Chains A and B, each alone.
Chain A
Amino acid sequence: MPERSRSDYPVLRAERRWSDGAPWKGEIATRLSDLKLAPAREAEIVEELSQHLEDRYRELLSAGDAETDARRMALEDLDDPKLVQELRQVENRVSIELLVPGAGGEKENLMTDLGQDVHYGLRMMFKDPGFTAVAVLTLALGIGANTAIFSVLDAVLLRPLPYPEQQNLVKVWTRFTGIGLPNDQNWVSPPEFRDFQHLNKSFSDLAAISTGTFNLGVKGSPERVIGAAVSPSLFRILGAQAVLGRTFTDEEAEPGHDHEAILSYAFWQRAFGGDRSVVGSTLRVDAVPYTVVGVMPPGFEYPPETQIWGPLAFSPSNLTPDSRGGHGLEVLARIKPVLSLAQTKTDMDRVGKTMIEQNRDYPYEKYGFGIILNPLLEETVGDVKASLWVLMAAVGLVLLIACANVANLLLVRASGRQKETAVRVALGASPGRLARQLLTESALLGLIGGIAGLILSHWVLKGLVTLSAESLPRVVQTGISGPALAFTLIVSLGTGILFGLAPVVHLRREGSYDVLKSGRSTPGGASNHLRRALVLSEIALSLVLLAGAGLLLRSFAQILKVDPGFRPEGVLTMRLSLPDAKYSQPQQVREFFHNLIDHVQILPGVEAAGAINLLPLGGLSGSGTTTVDTESVPPADRTPEVDYRGVTPGYFQAMGIPLLRGRFFNEGDSDTGARVVIIDDTLAQAYWPNQDPIGRRLHFGDSKSSGPWMTVVGEVKHVHYRTLEARSRTEFYWPQDQNPSGTMSVVVRTSGNPMSLAPTIEKEVSALDPELPVFQVRSMTEVMGESVARRRLALILLAVFAALALLLASIGIYGVTSYTVTQRQPEIGLRMALGARRIQVLKLVLRQGMLLTMAGLGIGLVAALVSTRLMGSLLFAVRPADPLALAGAVMLLMLVALLAILVPAGRATKVDPVVTLRYE
């Protein structure tokens, strides 16, 4: 609107007639011009007031006043300063072309204000697309990562299991202390399960589960399926009904009646195309006919991944005292609704004591026997809890850093908007109102960042699920769920308000009035402090993340350095399971493996071939009480729990396990030969220290057991069978021929790429038995990789987050340095004009930046020392205060900071003194 001055209007003259109102209008408009009202509104007010003045004027005239007096008296009203003052208050907040919300001083409708603020905030964003893009992108990265990790956390840890009253479901384990079991936790033997059933008063139901893989003949092609033999009560406990047919009856858990099978929905769809006539048909499971009685609903897979269920029947031989040591059952129970977990634990402690009393012949007392109850949810996800929470904390830190960056951006912008703010204050905006408007703007920014983050997290999550499907339970069910959406919304708004606080604090600290007077923005000292404090905390937080990632990296490197006791390179493994029905005689099993190994051994590219019943790091292990014939330890310690495995003679060479003493097995160690074993160096050291173990003896079972003595013929190096992280217990091997197992892993050492030989070997297998499926065909390196997959996943994720943090922090450092350099340009110009050399200027800027970095590193180091302690359970052979990881993190951060400072510092030296001084 063009400025109007009084001269635009004719000077009022007495002889004019006033009835048209126009001269009043000029007087009024002049007085209102300061208000800068919208033209339409101004015209309206001018007209209304001029009507009033005209009325008054006429009234005065008719009362007999002279025209001049009447005019003067009418205009007197207009000159009251209250008019403009009051109108400003009322009108400025309703004018349509509102540029600066918050200028009204009066308390107003909050919703109207909010609407104005949102509108205004959006306009400011579009006015500065560069700023908006950078801020939204930064936030999207932070929020996206948080949403993705929270989605995983929610799916894996927080979402209850899909069973009714799942909080009453517990896994029941036995406790045997001092035999090297993780958490002293052991499986349950059939007699123990029977004891639980008879003695407990707390469970409404108990189910035993025995999992395994089976050969299944479906439509002619042999297939290996994951199956479980379960107590019929399992389905009751989990509240599951068959979607087709029925579940098991209690009678079907009796020996001889147990040839029924239930299929999982997915398996039914895949193998039978969803054919409803499958119920009542016959399947051959490990060559034994089973009748299909039902199909479970989609999604029901307990134990996880089960494709086929059969009834678990205990034969009388399963329940003899000798079977008490056969710990192989998983037990699931439902606690009676009225009881708490604590009450149930007390009851089961009593059951445990009774079992010790009733079975004096079994070494319960010696191993501190007890019963462990773990809630099912805890059990399903327990061991990933720590890593997930650490990751959640890590992405939280990334988000904080992102917030600090955006806060910094906002501060820079706030300096640019100082004048605007000052105008608003002058127009009567209260500090609270201004703060509210700034916070609305930043919350808006947060929300937009959140939406972008949500889109981003969709992709991140996809990648994450692919990356972790194998190593995280339940992760496949991950999607962006309601809770994750709510989480994102809260995080977006929360971060918006968090980083929005910076300019508000800045606003409160800096009086805005001076700006108006000087007419230009001045760099405020307080805002510089705030900006530096933000960058300082970014550096500190990044260091925590880098240190965490460094620790995981070090742990991983340490694990890869662990000597597993064998040489995995070039080794191919595959698993076979000979069905009992077809290979009922031990001799058949022996012959099959003799033939197979003989054929494989002579294949070109094969250096050695053998087989073992339980592959190292394959997730399965076998162990039992063993009596060792030794005088070196007290009698009570001569019956330890030992890991044992059956192998064919070629196994040790194929796996690359070095022989320390004696000999490997050979063809002579047959069923008819003398009973022999090969022990590992750990067992030799423990029971025959500093002696030659060759020729010594041990046997299965405790000292009363009638097992035959087996003579030690060789000593090999200890192998990490269970995990790479920890040594296993003492180990021994028996020759396959003396105790044959139908399920074996074939191990082949090749001279080239092991996987390229797989088809040839599979051909050899099918030449011997065309119905026999081969499964788990993997190189030994892969097997090792899978055993540390979860650790690798945690490492990758934390490293990605640390990299993100590093990037954000470097942007922060760069930003604050550039800003300072720009601010100090006149000073730098002056210095250079006075003869300072470039290198000196460079040093000046560098010193300032590096001082800030150092301070951040100092604080970060303390924070890292405190917080990495929480990672204890994720570390391996590395202390939380590992100097190498910490030093590495510090060095990396310093290097990146140096780069981020050097770029703007270099620019500072290119300052032309003349140009900058001219501005002063």
Chain B
Amino acid sequence: MDPQLFDRELKKGSAELLILSLLEARPRHGYEISKLIEQRSDGTLRFHVASLYPLLYRLEKRGWLQGRWVEKSGQRRRRYYRLTAPGRAVLTSQRHGWQTFVRAVNAIASVAAEAER
């Protein structure tokens, strides 16, 4: 596979997992999500407006998320995204798939590394 394409697919697939994971604990708004991704990955992963919001809308369209305008006193109106039941199911399966994938890659990568030695 073209390495660039591989990268893109990987990112696209993992982006969904990231967003779903972040919403597992509680509803968050878009900016909060992008901040959390940046912080928790120590700046390795960054989501800008152009990639984050279309993805949120897409996941919402699929019924995995639900967005709602919330006005908290003294704050501006923000759109909070909540994980739906189907979203939760998808998260479980994606998380499982991701772990299997990572384990597999690790196994190969480390075996290969040992053989090199």
Task: Check B113 for interface membership: any CB of A closer than 8 A.
Answer: no
B53 touches A77 (CB 8 A): no
Residues in chain A near residue B26, CB distance under 8 A: none
> Given A48-B53, A91-B57, A94-B61, are A55 and B31 also a contact pair (CB < 8 Å)?
yes
Return B82 CB to nearest CB of chain A, in Å: 15
CA distance in complex: A78, B31 (Å): 14
**Cα A93 to Cα B61 with chains together (Å):** 10
Contact partner, B53, options A21, A45, A94, Cβ 8 Å: A45
Tell me the dominant secondary structure on chain A's binding face: helix
**B48 neighbours in A (Cβ, 8 Å):** 77, 80
How far is it, in angstroms, between the C-alpha of A51 and the C-alpha of B32 when the chains are bound?
11
Give complex CA distance A272, B67 in Å: 79
Contacts of B53 in A (CB 8 A): 45, 48-49, 52, 83, 87
Q: Which residues of A contact B57 (CB under 8 A)?
A: 45, 87, 90-91
Instruction: Specify which chain B residues have a CB less than 8 angstroms from the CB of A90 in the assembled complex.
Output: 54, 57-58, 61
A47, CB-defined interface residue at 8 Å? yes
What range describes how many residues of A lie at the interface? 20 to 34
Most A-side CB within 10 Å, residue of B29, B55, B79: B79
Contact with B along A77-92 (1 / 0, CB 8 A): 1101111001101110
Residues of A within 8 A of B96 (CB): none
Is B49 a contact of A80 with CB atoms below 8 Å? yes
Q: Nearest chain B CB to A474's CB is how many angstroms away? A: 56
CA distance A21 to B75 in the complex (A): 13
B36: min CB distance to chain A, Å: 13
**A56, CB-defined interface residue at 8 Å:** yes
Mask of A279-297 contacts with B, CB within 8 angstroms, 1/0: 0000000000000000000
B68 vs chain A, min Cβ distance (A): 11
- Asked if B79 and A51 make an inter-chain contact with CB atoms under 8 angstroms apart, the answer reads yes
Q: How far is the CB of A108 from chain B (nearest CB, A)?
A: 9
A333 within 8 A of B: no
Q: Closest chain A residue to B79 by CB distance? A: A48
B49 to chain A: which residues have CB within 8 Å? 49, 52-53, 77-78, 80, 83
Q: Which chain A residues border B51 with CB–CB below 8 Å?
A: 80, 82, 86
CB distance from B18 to the nearest CB of A (A): 17
- Known A78-B49, A94-B61; judge A87-B54 contact (CB<8 A): yes
B50 engages A51 (CB within 8 Å)? no
Q: A77-B49, A80-B49 are in contact. Are A51 and B54 (CB under 8 A)?
A: no
Interface residues of A in 35-83 (CB under 8 A from B): 44-45, 47-49, 51-56, 77-78, 80-83
Given known A-B contacts A51-B29, A51-B79, A80 and B50 have beta carbons under 8 A apart: yes
Q: Which residue of chain B is the closest to A87 with respect to CB atoms?
A: B54
Assembly CA distance A51 to B78 (angstroms): 7
At the interface, yes or no: B27 with Cβ under 8 Å from chain A?
A: no
In angstroms, Cα B35 to Cα A55, docked, is: 10
Query: Which residues of A in the span 153-186 have a Cβ within 8 Å of any Cβ on B?
Result: none
Nearest opposing residue in chain A for B49, CB measure: A77
> In chain B between 58 and 112, which residues have their CB closer than 8 angstroms to a CB of chain A?
58, 61, 76-79
Residues of A within 8 A of B78 (CB): 51
Minimum C-beta distance from B90 to chain A (A) = 15
Q: B residues within 8 A CB of A82?
A: 50-51, 54
Indicate if the CB atoms of B50 and A78 lie closer than 8 Å: yes
Asked, given contacts A86-B50, A90-B54, whether A51 binds B76 with beta carbons under 8 Å apart, the answer is yes
Please name the residue on chain B nearest to A82 by beta carbon.
B50
Nearest A-chain residue to B34, judged by Cβ: A52
Q: Which of B30, B54, B61, B77 contacts A52 (CB 8 A)?
A: B30
Kindly state the separation between the CA atoms of A91 and B60 in the bound complex, as whole angstroms.
11
Shortest C-beta distance, A867 to chain B (Å), equals 54
Smallest beta-carbon distance A55→chain B, Å: 4
Q: Which of B1-58 contact A (CB under 8 A)?
A: 29-31, 34, 48-51, 53-55, 57-58
> Do B31 and A52 have beta carbons less than 8 Å apart?
yes
Bound-state Cα–Cα, A52 to B81, Å: 14
Give Cα A54 to B76, complex, Å: 11
- Complex Cα distance, B50 from A48, in Å, reads 13
- C-alpha gap A77/B57 in the complex (Å): 17
Most buried by B among A45, A47, A55, A81: A55
A86 contacts B31, C-beta separation under 8 Å: no
7 nearest CB pairs, A to B: A86-B54, A80-B50, A83-B50, A55-B31, A77-B49, A82-B50, A77-B48
Interface residues of A (CB under 8 A from B): 21, 44-45, 47-49, 51-56, 77-78, 80-83, 86-87, 89-91, 93-94
**A/B interface sample: 13 pairs, CB < 8 A:** A45-B53, A49-B49, A51-B29, A51-B31, A52-B30, A52-B31, A53-B49, A54-B76, A77-B50, A80-B49, A82-B54, A87-B53, A87-B57
Given contacts A80-B48, A83-B50, 19 further A-B contacts (CB under 8 A): A45-B57, A48-B53, A49-B49, A51-B77, A51-B79, A52-B34, A52-B53, A53-B49, A55-B31, A77-B49, A78-B49, A82-B50, A82-B51, A82-B54, A86-B51, A86-B54, A86-B55, A90-B57, A90-B58
